[in-house]
A = this chain, B = another copy of it.
Amino acid sequence: MILITNDDGYQAKGIGVAVELARQFDHVVVVAPDGARSGQSSALSVNMPIVYQTIRKDADVEIYACSGTPVDCVKLAFSGMIPGVERPKMVISGINHGSNSSINVIYSGTMGAAIEGCLYGVPSVGLSICNHDLDADFSHVLEPFRKILADVYQNGLPMGVCLNVNAPKSGEIKGISLCRQARGQWSEEFMASPTPRGYDCYWLTGKFSNVETGTTDTDEYALQNSCVAVCPVHTDMTHYPTIELLAKRYD
């Protein structure tokens, strides 16, 4: 069984493409949000319960829509609470409509779900393309994404590591590039907007910049050069060199 989720909701075009790719390998179970959950990171529904609905139950594909976050969906799928849904052999999150490269991995609900699969010890992959369009064209990523998924399905991933896979918006894919997370930065992040109550409200917006120039080993560089960027993501966030640095300072 392959578990598929996303942060755009079970009706999004991208998750349908992921289902078509995954059913070439195994039985597919979709447990995905019942609507848009972008920017949800690894958020949990702590203060309210979640519910789910069975959308479809065919011989090779089952689809459940969940009221929670992407991570809630993964937790629910692993919980044994949905009859017949067992521990998957692989978790796929996406295909997300929009990039999750660079520091966006930190905010991404797509990647939150992939990280969650990884925490359960199951090989997990987040898939995204640099196109927010609801009707985005995915034809150029079918072959590279299929290749990446086939490799993970057959060979697994190191414990505690999942993949953040991002593809260019369109055009011919020149290759699959293994890379690190680029250092990036958001600026001009809020737009003030008047309300009828007399105070302003603030909409999240912003401009993303890749602050690295001259480096060629990042996900941003790969995307700019028509490659699919594969960045291995670690669930151990410890920065080991700083342990030693601070041990000296605290002495």
Contacts and interface: CB of A to CB of B under 8 A. Distances in A.
Interface in A124-170: 147, 151, 155, 157-158, 160-161
A195 B231 CA distance: 43
Nearest to A242: B232
Interface stretch (A18-26, A86-94, A178-186): A178-186
A250 to B, nearest CB: 6
A155 B249 contact: yes
Interface residues of A, number: 75
A47 interface: yes
Given A36-B47, A49-B203, A151-B250, A106 B178 contact: no
A201 B242 contact: no
Given A47-B36, A49-B202, A236 B181 contact: yes
Interface string A36-77: 101111111111011110000000000000000101100110
Contacts of A151: 246, 249-250
A242 B161 contact: yes
* Among A40, A79, A237, residue most surrounded by chain B Cβ atoms (within 10 Å): A237
Interface in A81-115: 81, 103, 105-107, 112, 115
Secondary structure of the A contact surface, majority rule: mixed
A204 B81 CA distance: 12
Nearest to A75: B189
Nearest to A247: B178
B49 A201 contact: yes
A239 interface: yes
A41 B41 contact: yes
Contacts of A246: 151, 178, 230, 232
A11 to B, nearest CB: 16
A239 B233 contact: yes
Contact of A50 (B78, B105, B202): B202
A249 B242 CA distance: 32
Contacts of A203: 49
20 contacts: A40-B41, A41-B112, A42-B107, A44-B204, A46-B204, A49-B193, A50-B201, A51-B195, A71-B107, A105-B237, A151-B249, A157-B242, A158-B239, A158-B241, A158-B245, A160-B183, A178-B246, A180-B236, A232-B242, A234-B237
